[in-house]
Amino acid sequence: MKTRAQSTSSTAGIPPHGEVPRHVAIIMDGNGRWAKQRHLPRFAGHKRGVEAMHAIVKSCAEHGVGFLTLFAFSSENWRRPPDEVALLMQLFIGALEGEVQKLHRNGIRLKVIGERKRFEPKIQALIAEGELLTAGNRGLTLTIAANYGGRWDILQALNRMAKEGALTDLDEIRESDLAPYLSMSAAPEPDLFIRTGGERRVSNFLLWQLAYTELHFTDALWPDFDAAALEAAFVSYRARERRFGRTSEQLEEAKRGAAGRTPLRAASDA
């Protein structure tokens, strides 16, 4: 089943955007180096990494962010040593068992994106339970990307379209045909992308959805990334001029128009 895209595509139109990002997407990187700096096993860094998530979820909810998407485990992270992968799976189970009730009490809706069938049945069941329990919540939508890859996402969308016969009566595939089949179809595209840990790369995260997202890279290692660091990312975001292909002069004119008679039409790319 496809779900309807919730808001304007950044390439088909101009999404509404304001002072607070509606959708923040984070690559939580640097757990291993955080542990190494302290002569601790990598596992200790991952444990602290889970703790760091709490403050960021709370802070995003307080700021009125609608969607927070966290990259927890990539399609390529299976390439890590088996004992590290096993520990990460244990942490995932622990987090699902320990946190879902808390999220629910706080009105947060949990979603998990990524290919689930590679996870053990217990994890798949916990994900399904957590999503079901929190499905009706109207607060922040927290999406955990687990066994997720941007290329996988585009391919699973095309494969589902093919299976449903949605491709057969199309002369050509348009953006609006594909978008509803992507994992994040129910969310607006991210306004702000944050990567901690110093690397300046996207590492196969939301490839399609990051088309016009503002990128923020910080050297802070994920276990050290706190509410103040998030606030600094928001300050940086607010200082950006989001042009979506237009010129600064057009934006100035639209602003003057908004102050006077001609409002900027949110979804116009004319």
Catalytic residue annotation: 29, 77
Minimum CB separation of residue 88 from Mg ion in Å reads: 12
Alpha carbon 170 to chain centroid distance? 30
Residues in touch with ligand IPE (CB under 6 A): 27-33, 71-74, 77, 88, 197, 199, 201, 203
Work out whether 189 is an interface residue with Mg ion (CB under 5 A): no
What are the residues whose beta carbons fall under 8 Å from the beta carbon of 16, sequence distance 6 or more?
7, 8, 22, 266
Work out whether 29 is an interface residue with Mg ion (CB under 5 A): yes
- The partner in contact with residue 27, picked from ligand IPE, Mg ion, none with C-beta cut-offs of 5 to 8 angstroms by kind, is ligand IPE
Strand partners, 110: 142
Minimum CB separation of residue 265 from ligand IPE in Å reads: 38
Minimum CB separation of residue 193 from Mg ion in Å reads: 16
Alpha carbon 2 to chain centroid distance? 19
Cβ nearer to ligand IPE, comparing 33 with 246? 33
- The partner in contact with residue 188, picked from Mg ion, ligand IPE, none with C-beta cut-offs of 5 to 8 angstroms by kind, is none
Task: Single out the residue of 209, 180, 267, 266 nearest to residue 71, CA to CA.
Answer: 209
Alpha-carbon distance of 46 to 34, in angstroms, equals 9
Minimum CB separation of residue 203 from ligand IPE in Å reads: 4
Alpha-carbon distance of 220 to 21, in angstroms, equals 21
For the chain, what is the largest distance between any 2 Cα atoms, rounded to a whole number of angstroms? 63
Instruction: Kindly write out the interface string for residues 100-139 of this chain, putting x where it contacts Mg ion by CB under 5 A and - elsewhere.
Output: ----------------------------------------
Q: Contact region for Mg ion (CB under 5 A) — 29-37, 40-48, 56-64, 256-264? A: 29-37
Residue at 130: amino acid letter: G
Q: How many CB atoms lie within 10 A of CB 209?
A: 25
* Closest chain position to ligand IPE (CB): 32
Alpha-carbon distance of 165 to 173, in angstroms, equals 13
Binding region for Mg ion (CB under 5 A) = 29
